[in-house]
Structure 1
Amino acid sequence: MTTQPLRGAQMFRAALDRTARLVIKIGSNQLVDPANGLPRANIFESLAADIAALRQRGAKCVLVTSGAVAFGRHRLGLPMCRALALDEKQAAAAVGQLLLAEAWARAFSQHDILTGQALLCPEDTEHPVRLRNASNTFERLFQLGVLPLVNENDTVATEELRYGDNDCLAARLTSLVRAEGLILLSDIDGLYTKDPSVSPDASPIEHVPFSALAGLDCGGPPRAGGPGTGGMASKLDAARIAVASGCWAVIARASDRPLGAPRQTMRLTFFAPDAAIANAGRI
């Protein structure tokens, strides 16, 4: 890894240090071992420790966590190697939500942090009355010192009525909780000009200004064989949603622990917000 400071990492650290509210999203590919469907305990523990440190300095955090369907299908004995029918996915989510919440509660209990679960559907962030109710709930959780764990309500969601993936859900949440930063934790260290797994000449993109985001098109679908449903294209869409409202965004590799000790040599992609909105009070 390079030892020279990287622009994206420098901008991220500067933004993170002055941010009071954060939405952090982590996907199934980081939390679940696709070979056996079991949780990766080291990821749960390290992210819990890093979020605990952010809360210690006063930041209010929301954790958007995937993994319920993956955990549930393993417990139910549903094969990891095939797509699930809708009713199978809903049943797996019903079982997996409990397992996922328990795994996070166990990890955060090591830092005396109480967690609470919020399962959302698109209407909860789009219908005015439900939006207000959801916002009030998050505010009260913040006041009580509870860390909200958020996931889409996959037990009742259908293909026609859902966010599509938790990247989009996390982006929508930034406005609901008045967050100043969105952190998308992935299995790749940011955005590239091409898919680096198949294109050796792919170049990393460290910084994307707001003016360049609309025309950027270098995302890709989810990697085959993994439990995740997102992909780089969905993260790029989420970044667009967030920065348009004045919220900065970052795509970083979860295993690099970008929320941990400051490292200006870390590879990641920083998306700068709409300056006009940001200067009006978002950051």
Structure 2
Amino acid sequence: MKQLSLFINTSKPKAVEISESLIDWLEKKDFKVKNRFAVEELKDIELDLMNSVEFAICLGGDGTLLSVARKLAPLNIPILGINVGHVGFLTEIELKDLFRDLEFFKTGKFFLDKRMMIEAFVKRGDKVLSSFLALNDVVITKGPFARLIRIKATSNNSYIDTYPADGLIISTPTGSTAYSLSAGGPIVSPNMELLILTPICPHTLQNRSIVVSKDDIIKVQVFAEHQEIMLTIDGQEGFKLMPFDEVIIKKSENYTNLIRIKNRSFFDLLRLKLKEPNGKSY
């Protein structure tokens, strides 16, 4: 009997509704749902509760999966995402195909999609204040003020540029289809390992996204007159930065392992998900 944990976005009524029939199906198919958690409680969940768990299933959207991925990455537990959200770039199963696709999962007809993650460290003076793990991106932004900030970026201590901008996105290939894409960054196949630096609304004609090696260590320092500068992790966790704080970003040793059932390429997914309202692909 294979043991798994179930993570439910309880803010979505459909996810809560589906969870009962999902648990019933899993138990009839010789799975043991060792524990179920509300995603909203993730920060308080002890990792010891995951002992002997072989898989995780999350009911929600991409945001739900991002939260679960950051929590479980140190344990290397594969994640199966069931989409109860909107776009669903990371989740694998749509509700209309739920139990049909779960049959493939039951019989082991799936593969693991290994995704690079990044770590960020906030340094103030000589002291490291906090560290974070991200699957999509790390973003430094100006906060609510309608004023530019200046962001100095280096790669392996080599000066890149100082951006007068609303902010700077440091993205993984997985995050290239998220905020970075909206800010004009490139789309990168998620099986690659690299870092993407994309300025947000730069007040210059020359600043563009830069792609650097997975082995590069990025250092970012912020200069601003106000004190409402924010560091955000996957758009979900926040840390208030002070002027002259330094953010260090590098590739993490952790990976997110996503369970894949459908035999579709990344480009198939792009055409399916990045459509205009009239149904035409970009």
Structure having the higher helix fraction is 1
Higher RCO (C-alpha 8 Å, min separation 6): 1
Q: TM-score, normalised by structure 2?
A: 0.32
Structure having the higher strand fraction is 2
Structure 1 or 2, whichever has the larger Rg, is 2
Q: TM-score, normalised by structure 1?
A: 0.32
